[in-house]
Amino acid sequence: MTPEVAMQYALLIYTEPGYHEVLSEAEREAAYAEYFALADDTRYSAGARLQPVETATTVRVVDGRTLTTDGPFADTKEVLGGLCLIEAADLEEALDLAARLPAVRLGAAVEVRPLVPR
């Protein structure tokens, strides 16, 4: 029997800017502790919290010219605030891990997407 190969997934965390600022210091510390615990999970590969959307620069190449624009690609209510890369046996396991993210309980949406195998 062949051992099951884990799939890689990106957990893309979309939040309203400043969502964590309404938390008390204790609530913020508890959320950080949960993220650190997730980082210790063997299925976790990498993750990062992004700087505020105001620091974004969008790059496009149009007719051979590089154009840059301050700000995000799209003007939306929720912005990409961070991401996690995980390995999971299947989508169900990836969804379970995504549901454990503290941001989800605080109103964020998490897009779960399989990575293209290399």
0.85 surpassed by pTM:
no
Flag whether 48 is in a domain: yes
Place of tokens 């046996």: 89
Q: What is the pLDDT of residue 6?
A: 86
Beta strands in the chain (DSSP E): 7-15, 44-49, 57-62, 65-70, 79-88, 109-114
The token duo for 76 is: 């939306």
Flag whether 1 is in a domain: no
Cα distances from 34 to residues 17, 103, 106, in angstroms, run 20, 10, 13
Flag whether 62 is in a domain: yes
Instruction: Report the CATH number that the domain containing residue 51 is assigned in CATH.
Output: 3.30.70.1060
Identify the three-state secondary structure at position 84.
strand
Q: What is the pLDDT of residue 4?
A: 64
Tens of pLDDT, residue by residue over 50-78, are 898 888 888 989 999 999 988 776 667 78
Flag whether 27 is in a domain: yes
Q: Which helix (H) or strand (E) holds 86?
A: strand 79-88
Number of structural domains the chain divides into: 1
Flag whether 2 is in a domain: no
Cα distances from 46 to residues 1, 10, 63, in angstroms, run 30, 9, 36
Q: What angle do CA 9, 14, 15 make, to 5 degrees?
A: 150
Residues whose CB falls within 8 Å of the CB of residue 90, separated by 6 or more in sequence, listed in order: 7
Low-confidence ranges of the chain (pLDDT < 70): 1-4, 73-75
Domain ranges, residue 110: 7-114
Flag whether 75 is in a domain: yes
